[in-house]
Amino acid sequence: MKTLTLNILAALIITATIYLIWKFSRPTEIVAVHLSQYASYIVVKNFPFTDSGMITWWQENRVLLKEKYGVPELGSEGSESISVWNFGDGYQIEKPDKDSFFPSKDTSYLLCFADMNVKENCIVKDSLMSIGKTRDGVILFRFGNKVYSEKDNGEVVRRKISGS
pTM of the model: 0.79
Give the helix/strand (H/E) hosting 43.
strand 39-45
**Per-residue pLDDT tens over the stretch 39-90:** 899 999 999 989 999 999 999 998 999 999 988 777 665 557 899 999 999 9
What per-residue confidence (pLDDT) applies to 113? 94
For residue 116, is it within any domain? Answer: no
Q: Supply the pLDDT for residue 42.
A: 96
Mean pLDDT computed over 14-26: 77
d(CA 14, CA 109): 37
Q: Is residue 34 part of a domain?
A: yes
Our CA angle for 111, 78, 86, nearest 5°, is 25
Nearest to residue 92, comparing CAs of 58, 128, 118?
118
Segments forming the whole domain that contains residue 143: 28-88+126-159
Q: Would you say 28 and 44 are in contact if contact means Cβ atoms under 8 Å apart?
A: yes
pLDDT beyond 60 at 92? yes
Residue 53 lies in a domain: yes
The DSSP 8-state label assigned to residue 18 in this structure reads: H
pLDDT confidence of 20, banded at 50, 70, 90?
Answer: confident
Helix (H, G, I), strand (E, B) or coil at 65: helix
Burial label for 39, CB within 10 Å (0-12, 13-18, 19+), is: middle
Q: Is residue 96 part of a domain?
A: no
What's the sign of the alpha-carbon dihedral 49, 50, 52, 54?
positive
Q: Is 32 exposed, middle or buried (0-12, 13-18, 19+ CB in 10 A)?
A: middle
**Quick check: is 104 in a domain?**
no
Q: What is the pLDDT of residue 136?
A: 78
The total domain count for the chain is: 1
Report if residue 20 sits inside a domain.
no
Q: What is the pLDDT of residues 130-160, one digit of tens each?
A: 999 887 778 899 998 899 998 877 788 888 7
